[in-house]
Structure 1
Amino acid sequence: MEPPLSHPAMIALSLLLVALYLASRGLLGGKKRKKYPPVAGTVLHQLLNFGRFVEYQTELSRRHRTFRMLTPTCNYVYTVEPANVEHILKTNFANYGKGPMTHAVMEDLLGDGIFNVDGAMWRQQRKVASLEFSTRVLRDYSSAVFRDTAAELAGIILGAAAEEGERVDLHDLLMRSTLDSFFKVGFGVNLGVLSGSTKEGAAFARAFDDASEQVLYRFFDLLWKVKRFLNVSSEAAMKKSVRTINDFVYAVIDRKIEQMSREQHEFAKKEDILSRFLLERERDLGCFDNKYLRDIILNFVIAGRDTTSGTLSWFFYMLCKNPRVQEKVAQEVRNATTGDDDVGVQDFPAFLTEDAINKMQYLHAALTETLRLYPGVPIDVKYCFSDDTLPDGHAVNKGDMVNYQPYPMGRMKFLWGNDAEEFRPERWLDDAGVFVPESNFKFTAFQAGPRICLGKEFAYRQMKIVSAVLVYFFRFEMWDIDSTVGYRPMLTLKMDGPLYLRAFCPVKLHAISKLKTLSSTFGGDSDGWV
């Protein structure tokens, strides 16, 4: 990513931005002013702090619960007030959408997918996805995929770390395993990224991460359209990433269409989400083309793969930093599944029934506490379609970009108390140890209102299954006990670099033997997709 501007240049441009903004709003001529949010800086200050963006936004939010950053054309308004969040996401939902600016910034990556459109396109995709996520078929199918992938992951960890004492990069393994499982559930494709049997999936994942970072950078880069037109600098890299992404996704679509033509009589029975959208297209020929399918796929990838794998990585990082919590989670998993007995990983997934998963209240609380501090989408933006006044009395203008901020909100003492920055799963449990949810407008990790995440329960189920398998067979600690982990500035909150852990196996030897057998099996018989 390009270096930020020098301090003198930033100061000069900031002053120019302020003057241009005041002049454009008629505020230099003595007109009566509305009660706009206080100015905390300009878009150039955000660009200067791009590498630590969410921390910078958190610092500003501690000073102003609602504030604005100036750009040449509009306000960037940010808020951590739950009442404002409810107004934006529910009460006045029709007035806040993606809008033309967000669509333009994200179009190269997300196109006309569900997270980048309003109106009829959004309603169509929401309807099909809503029907799909509500089916028992998808729940049962996805749970089976999650169990199989978690077992494969456990086998790899044993082979790489527990037996030989090597460090394991759990972040990388989780990214690969969730990519495998999500493409299997979502698109009926066996990637083989976790086992390393194919390179195309790994190249796609790298390109997707690079493009996601560049999309976020565009929001603060006033010259990104010029760079794209000239095909230079960061935009040249963006174009290359998008080409890699497109080649991969269109190959997935072509393969699925070919499968459809071979198995037309069975196609309606397919469990994966892409098959459902293709079936929808079959019912209404010409309703959307392969480009639209490409956009739908990539939006599901950023929702299903990026957020889940990121949360799991932060979760195990928190477990290593809080051994007491890790032990409580492991004991709960054991109590809900096998009790005092030890079983091998080939047998253990059968114990992860819906009833057993629902009993894991502390695990649910620990995952939710992770999402409070490390939400999958740290800051979410909406476009204001007409002048409005937020519940806290601050005015916003038509064309303003209004942001609610899950990451800073999770660290606000006025919302969570003086221990807001502590990892404490107990805050989510009542005296009986039962999970008690908070308002979606205070805990905003899954959005709220009409756009609330359809895959919320889907994501929790996957995270619980993966977590339960790993904490049952292993105890984790940081490879370097003093190391800390940062994040990469992207649309989602992904770790910047590896999560090196040491894994121990407290289960009995007969379980270890079965686990080694499974590790050998997965290592030598992977089903790649190309």
Structure 2
Amino acid sequence: MPVREGSLFGLGTILKVVKISKASRLLEANFSRFQKMQTKTFSMMTNGQSVIYTIDPENVRAMLVTQFDSWELSALRKTAYTRLLGHGIFTTDGDAWKHSRAMLKPSFTRGEIGNVEMLERHSESLIKAIRLQQDQNSVDLGDLFFRMTTDFATEYLFGEPTESLERGVEDGFCEAFSGGLKYIGKLSRVGRLGLFFGRTKFQAERRYLYNFIDRYVRRTLEDAKDGAKFPSRHTFLHELSRQTNDVVRIRTELLNILIAGRDTTASLLTNTWHVLSHRPDIVARLRKEIASDLPPQKRPTFEELKNLTYLSAVFKESLRLHPVIPLNTREATVPTTLPKGGGPDGTQPVFVAKGQPVIYSSYAMQRDKNVFGDDAEEFHPERWLDTDEGKGIRPGFSYMPFNAGPRICLGQQLALMEASYVTVRLLQEFESIEARDNRPWTEEIGVTCVNKYGAKVALA
């Protein structure tokens, strides 16, 4: 396996990570490193230990599926994320993770995901917010998407929306949650070095979030104690209140799942609409598909959304080029091996010591020209479509926008459904889309990854 030399104990590597992160070039630099070394797996001293970096789909498949029990979340991630999220589905392994996942599963059934009435209410609020800003030269859909998905996720999970869209800049929840996630995301990449930057602000944001969510939790627990009937629609908060009256435990689980319900969808929408504002050809084809499959201004149903194949291809391509989780890490729980990367030609297994981290980059892996073609760095939704000439691309473990194996994202169908519904409604409502920011897509990495400059557009 190739070895890239680092400074003593890898301190120089961490300082470089801090520098290129500030320049919004972490993903690009990581991708370039694989290209320059002409390998899919190498090791380097990072943060005081030897770390393996890989973009080999066989290695990723081993960690996430075939050798699942030999791997766990990295200690760095768990330490960083726990500072805000506590011990929930994104910060635990083993039995604790299984218990969190079992509690979550009922919230993502077909009946819950297909609630288009709720999606319509929040889409209408989004459209209203856009129209209120029409006197300006542009609207930042990125900001509005994060507020809308916050409203939808809190109603979906808590039973009551935060009304972040209506409150706008006066809403403290969105700002506190976004700030907190950026901070723990930074800690997960640079470790304790990140504690020297923004700690006081983070503590204030965490305090605000905890107090905000605890009000929901205590009110629900009081209602349960007083014998009040829960609403007919299942919510995650009510399910949790049936299982425990521990406010901290309930708050922890709610915060964890809010990331999936809010940030994943908002990042996907922002990244996609940044592209759409610069690609009238894609917008025209989307409008044609919507007009063909839906009567004018008809609100789409769950099944109708699933049949919009070009829209699905657009989101697949967005998640390929701009994955919302672009980097991930696992640590070996026992001495083990990865299938590829060793030997003179990189085809032999690689030994991994107990506790040794392995970092894999979906961002780099999903740009592999051997898998996706010579145009792998271009936004080309057609690569996913079946035609008379042949089937669309089937990349296997070279493409994992929602993870894979036992830890595959429970909320992926909900995220895609919400993103699809909102996109259809905006295209139905507005006849023209013009970009108001010509800067290229630029990474901003917290817990998820989104275009740093949002999606600034003019809609009419």
Question: TM exceeds 0.5?
Answer: yes
- How far 1:233 sits from its partner (Å)? 4.0
Inter-partner Cα distance in structure 2 for 1:221 and 1:139? 37
Residue 343 (structure 2) pairs with residue 368 (structure 1): no
2:147 to 169, 176, 183: 176
1:409–1:415 Cα contact (<8 Å) kept? no
Q: Secondary structure at the match of 1:447?
A: coil
What is the identity, as a one-letter code, of the residue corresponding to 2:436? Answer: W
Report the counterpart of residue 254 of structure 1 in structure 2: 218
Q: CA deviation at 1:236?
A: 2.5
Deviations 1:212-267 (A, max 9, x none): 22223223445449x5xxxx643233222221221222122123323434563x32
Structure 2 CA distance for aligned equivalents of residues 95 and 244 of structure 1? 38
Mark the CA change 1:221 to 1:193 in structure 2 (over 3 Å): closer, same or farther. Answer: same
Aligned equivalents of 1:473 and 1:151: distance in 2? Answer: 10
Residue 16, structure 1, aligned to residue 2, structure 2:
no
- Structure with higher Rg: it is 1
Whether 1:325 aligns to 2:299 is no
Contact 1:99–1:118 (Cα < 8 Å) also in 2: no
Partner of 1:134: 109
1:488 aligns with 2:451: no
SS at match of 1:76: strand
Residues 198 and 183 of structure 1: CA distance in aligned 2, closer, same or farther (over 3 Å): farther
Q: Deviations over 1:124-175 (max 9, x none)?
A: 1111222331252x1343x2211211122123323422xx464111111111
CA distance in 2, matches of 1:100, 1:75: 14
Match of 2:358 in 1: 402
Distance 1:190 1:360, change over 3 A: same
1:405 deviates by 1.4
Pick the aligned partner of 2:186 from 188, 201, 217: 217
Structure 2: where are the runs of 5+ without partners?
Answer: 341-348
Q: Separation in 2 of the partners of 1:502 and 1:321?
A: 12
Secondary structure of the residue aligned to 2:459 is strand
Q: Please name the residue that 1:146 is paired with.
A: 119
For normalisation by structure 2, the TM-score amounts to 0.89
Q: Does 1:314 align with 2:271?
A: yes
Q: Secondary structure of the residue that 1:380 maps to in structure 2?
A: strand
In structure 1, how many angstroms separate the alpha carbons of the residues matched to 2:243 and 2:314? 38
TM-fit CA distance, 1:433: 10
**1:60 corresponds to 2:33:** yes
Shift of 1:485: 4.0
8 A contact 1:381–1:402 mirrored in 2: yes
Aligned equivalent of 2:130: 157
Which of 249, 252, 276 is matched with 1:295 structurally? Answer: 252
DSSP-derived class of the 1:468 partner: helix
SS at match of 1:390: strand
Query: Equivalents in 2 of 1:223, 1:462: separation in Å?
Result: 37
Secondary structure of 2:397's counterpart equals coil
How far residue 86 of structure 1 moved from its aligned partner, in angstroms, is 0.4
Closer/same/farther in 2, CA of residues 433 and 154 from structure 1, 3 Å limit: farther
Which residue pairs with 1:429 in the alignment? 385
* One-letter identity of the residue aligned with 1:247: N
| Secondary structure of 1:356 counterpart | helix
Counterpart of 1:206 in structure 2 is 175
Contact preservation (8 Å) 1:192, 1:198? no
Paired residue total: 443
- Give the TM-score of the pair, scaled to structure 1: 0.78
How far did 1:95 drift?
Answer: 1.1
Matched residue SS, 1:117: coil
**Aligned-residue offset at 1:389:** 1.6
3-state SS of paired residue (1:445): coil
Q: Does 1:388 align with 2:352?
A: no
Cα distance in 1, alignment partners of residues 113 and 92 from structure 2: 27
Per-residue CA deviations over 1:66-87 (Å, capped at 9, x if unaligned) read 1233135422322111111100
Distance (whole Å) between structure 2 residues aligned to residue 203 and residue 483 of structure 1: 29
